[in-house]
Amino acid sequence: MTPRSVIVLAVAAAISVAGAAWQLEANTSGYEEAQRGQRLLPDLLPKANDVTAIVLTQADKSVRIEREGTSYVIGGSGYPVKGGKFQTAIVATASLEKFDAKTARADKYPLIEVEAPDGKDAKSRLIRFEDAGGGNVGEIILGKKARGRLGGAIGDGQYVRLPNSGQSWLARGVVDADVKLETWVDTAVTDMNVDHVVRATFQPAGGPELMVRRTGVTEGGQPKFEVNGVPDGRTPKNDLTLRYAATDLGNVSFVDVRKDQGGDVVQRTRLMMADGLTTEFRITADDWVSLHVVNDGKDKITTKDIKDRTGGWQYKLADYKLKQLRLTMADLTEDKVE
């Protein structure tokens, strides 16, 4: 989406806001009558094209989204942002309008999640829009969403507060923005049809290879997997454990990403698909993971997509997912009962 498109969307949003404001003011009075329908950040729409970065902060976490030419990336890593997310965040925030005045008491802020966003346990989020010089184009504290709270056909709302004001508001409109990367990027490392998984191998540096391979189907019609080289006195665990040991590798997502910095590889875990496509997860000593295609599959489009999307990146996985890449014989077998 071009900068010009941002203006078009912004104007459309402004017209919508103005129309809703006229309807809302018809049956109100006093303070709220004077305030209802007013945009909380009236200067953001006119300056939408000046925004080159969006920064979200919550407690000790933050994420920065930057404009690079006609593209948008995560600050620091440079990982590409999903199409339209940058512009949508601007327009949605600029379209927030005052609907109902809420508490001005700081001790009540946590109830609607508009407390200071830099607090240790804050659930609120500060969204800030910056220009090329780092100047503040607009910022607002986003609180709890209020789906269906505005009544009738008015739409959904969200509790908000301007950082320099003690007054909180139930605003018309919702901003779907978070410090979590999944809000902004496609976090998939692998996203494969697990029904086509035929083999997985797990090999720590300097250690033996553990193989789990598909051998047929279970009595219930599910894919059946077996583990090779079960030692004496041990027996494989149930079919579900063995199946998931392999197929879980087909759906892996990350929680953080960085440019590939190399490092000593301490684990190599491979996944083979029915068409021959074989990918290898390489885990470094500091627990960052990269994905490599070691054998192309017959589906050249899928193979190319994986190479283009994952090449040059290292990923941080959730602890439980990292453990799935490091399965051992002890994880897949148990003592045999005589």
Please tell me whether residues 168 and 91 are part of one structural domain: yes
Label residue 150 by pLDDT band (50, 70, 90).
Answer: confident
Please indicate, yes or no, whether residues 156 and 262 belong to a single structural domain of this protein.
no
Number of domains in the chain: 2
Q: What is the pLDDT of residues 12-70, one digit of tens each?
A: 444 344 333 333 233 344 555 667 789 999 999 999 999 999 999 999 999 999 999 88
Q: How many whole angstroms separate alpha carbon 27 and alpha carbon 237?
A: 68
Answer yes or no: are the C-beta atoms of 321 and 252 closer than 8 Å: yes
Are 116 and 196 in a shared domain?
no
Say if residue 220's pLDDT is above 90.
no
Across residues 72-82, what is the average pLDDT?
Answer: 95
**Any idea which of 118-122, 149-153, 278-282, 317-321 has the lowest mean pLDDT?**
149-153
Which of 148, 179, 210 corresponds to the end of one domain?
Answer: 179
| pTM metric for this prediction | 0.81
Name the one residue in this structure whose structure tokens are 């979200």: 56
- When the pLDDT of each residue in the chain is averaged and rounded to a whole number, the result is 89
Residues 164 and 15 in one domain: yes
* Gyration radius of the chain's alpha carbons: 26
Examine the domain organization and report whether 213 and 93 are in the same domain.
Answer: no
Q: How far apart are CA 124 and CA 286, in angstroms?
A: 32
CA distance 126 to 143: 9
Q: Quick one: 231 and 160 in the same domain?
A: no
Parent domain of 153? 3-179
Q: Scanning the structure block, which residue is given the tokens 């021959």?
A: 276
Domain co-membership, 80 together with 32: yes
In the numeric block, the tokens 């454990």 are attached to 241
Question: Is 164 in the same domain as 201?
Answer: no
3 state DSSP class of 155? coil
Residue from 45, 44, 50 nearest 8 by CA: 45
171 shares its domain with 198: no
Q: Identify the CATH number of the domain in which residue 194 sits.
A: 3.30.1490
Q: What is the mean pLDDT of residues 246-275?
A: 96
- How confident is residue 151, by pLDDT bands cut at 50, 70 and 90? low
The string of DSSP codes covering 63-128 is EEEEEETTEEEETTT-PBPPTTHHHHHHHHHHT-EEEEE----GGGHHHHT-S-TTSTT---EEEE
Is the pLDDT assigned to residue 108 strictly greater than 90? yes
Lowest mean pLDDT among 34-43, 70-79, 233-242: 34-43
- What pLDDT is recorded for position 154? 67
- Go through the chain and tell me how many residues it has: 338
Co-location of 264 and 200 in the same domain? yes
Q: Give per-residue pLDDT as tens, 171-192.
A: 999 999 999 999 999 999 999 9
Same domain, 165 and 218: no
- Cα separation, 25 vs 34, in Å, equals 8
Which of the listed residues 179, 200, 231 is the one where a domain comes to its end? 179
pLDDT band of 210, cuts 50, 70, 90? very high
In the predicted model, is pLDDT for residue 326 greater than 50?
A: yes
The alpha-helical segments, DSSP class H, found in the chain are 3-25, 30-35, 85-94, 109-112, 239-247, 300-310, 319-324, 329-332
Instruction: Please check whether residues 283 and 198 belong to one and the same domain.
Output: yes
316 in Cβ contact with 255 (< 8 Å): yes
8 Å CB contact between 127 and 56:
yes
Question: What pLDDT score was predicted for residue 153?
Answer: 59
